Amino acid sequence: MGQKPDNLLELLHRLWNHFSARRKGRFGLLLGLMVLASFAEILSIGSVLPFLAVLTDPQRIFEFHLIQPLIKALGINNASQLLLPLTATFCITAVFAAAIRLLLLRSSLFLAAATGSDIGYDMYRRTLYQPYSVHVSRNTSEIIDGISIKSTAIANGIVMPLLYILSSAIMTGFIVCILLVLAPETTLIAFGIFGLIYLVVIKLTRKQLLVDSKNIAHESTQVIKSLQEGLGGIRDVLIDGTQNTFCRIYQKSDFVLRRSYASSSFISVSPRFAVEALGMLLIALLAYLMADQPNGVAKAVPILGALALAAQRLLPLMQQAYSSWSNLRQNQYSLKDTLEFLDQPLPERHSDASISPISFSKEIVLDDISFSYSSDAEPILHDLNLTIPKGSRIGFIGETGSGKSTLLDIIMGLLQPTEGALKVDGEKINSDNLRAWQKHVAHVPQSIFLADGTIAENIAFGLPKD
């Protein structure tokens, strides 16, 4: 884990394939809500122009072709009669837009939370169903970090930013369209300048965000590892007096982790201030140029008001899209690590409901058993032959590392021999009947694990309370 990640779009496509049909359907519904919220924003911004016009130059209201049907329907001849309807329309559209955006925010947060829960559960489920040989070759810290921390990072740092980018893009498109109607030249210049600023920042910060992403993915695992080793070996730590050593290991990883978070957070937030200042300068410049024309102030106020409101909506959306992109890059390595867990295969039969114990009335036979943990490692066991009659009481004695635990793991079906076969009453144990054989196995480990529960819950470990 932690190697150079694949293309971000490829990683996102792989993640999408792990979503359930139900979750994909909810994403579709959320997309429809985003479009509705965009229409609400257009209504909110579009209602500003006639509202400000009727306040500053009432007769100009009759120049707006879009509200001519409303004027004729209400039989209005005097502009002052439009003040109340336009005020009510402006207030209603503003409240409606706010309500839709609030609903969109709530739906996005809850969908991201549900998706994160699905991902964490699927990672845990797939990990538990992996063969024992996979577990002994893994670092437990990677598993705990992946399931408990990186699944949360995917929900908050991948799913939510994706939703924000999509929502921001849709709303930005609609807002730019209405601004092009109100002030095409100013809109093109402003949007071009703002967009160029963000593109330059993206170009300049890509590498640093990837460095931060790699540090976050790696050091979060190292923090868990240092905690496990320090607390798990507390007897040796206390006897040897190595507390300072473990504290330094923890502090080093934790500092790099938090510094990387701070660096990526600064990158994601900093462009906002420059863009906001530039937006204010553009509005001030436009106001100055329009005020110098005949009746410039009266004409400028409605347009400037609409532009100011649109900028209030548009700039946060552009910043949100950029910040979300930064979060995606920040969590790119974590996404790759998460997908390694999600891509773990599940056994064809992973339910014990229909499995009956294999017939066992005579003996267990180990026939020319050889075993090594990897192809380039020395064999732990070599050409071992052993017959154990049913009902026997036996013990394996030998030096540390001689293969006693490995032999027991093979007998229990936790490890598959590299060569040879495990047979029960003459039947070879393989993937088809492994669970049926393990129905006969009871295991008391050398290092006893006690669950954080009652005595009864420890006796019935792994069984539901009911």
Handedness of CA 372, 376, 377, 380 (dihedral sign): positive
pLDDT at 54 over 70: no
Q: Regarding predicted confidence, which is higher, 69 or 126?
A: 126
| Per-residue pLDDT at 190 | 72
**CA pair distance 146, 123, nearest whole angstrom:** 8
- How many C-beta atoms lie closer than 10 Å to residue 272's C-beta? 16
pLDDT at 222 over 60: yes
Instruction: Point out the least confidently predicted range of 138-152, 284-298, 372-386, 413-427.
Output: 284-298
Q: Under CATH, domain 8-342 is a member of which superfamily? A: ABC transporter type 1, transmembrane domain (1.20.1560.10)
**CA pair distance 120, 462, nearest whole angstrom:** 19
Per-residue pLDDT of 311-325, as tens digits, reads 666 788 888 899 999
Per-residue pLDDT of 111-142, as tens digits, reads 999 999 999 999 999 999 888 888 888 888 88
**At residue 427, what are phi and psi to the nearest 5 degrees?**
-95, 125
> Looking at the chain, which residues constitute the CATH 1.20.1560.10 domain(s)?
8-342
Tell me, rounded to whole angstroms, the distance of Cα 85 from its chain centroid: 46
What pTM value is reported for the model? 0.75
Q: Which 3 state secondary structure label does DSSP give 93? A: helix
| Per-residue pLDDT at 349 | 61
pLDDT at 352 over 70: no
The class of domain 363-459 in CATH terms is alpha beta
The answer to whether 339 and 14 are in contact (CB under 8 A) is yes
| Mean pLDDT on 93-102 | 88
Query: 114-136: string of b/e by CB count within 10 Å (b at 16+)?
Result: ebbebbbebbbebbeebeeeeee
> Looking at the chain, which residues constitute the CATH 3.40.50.300 domain(s)?
363-459
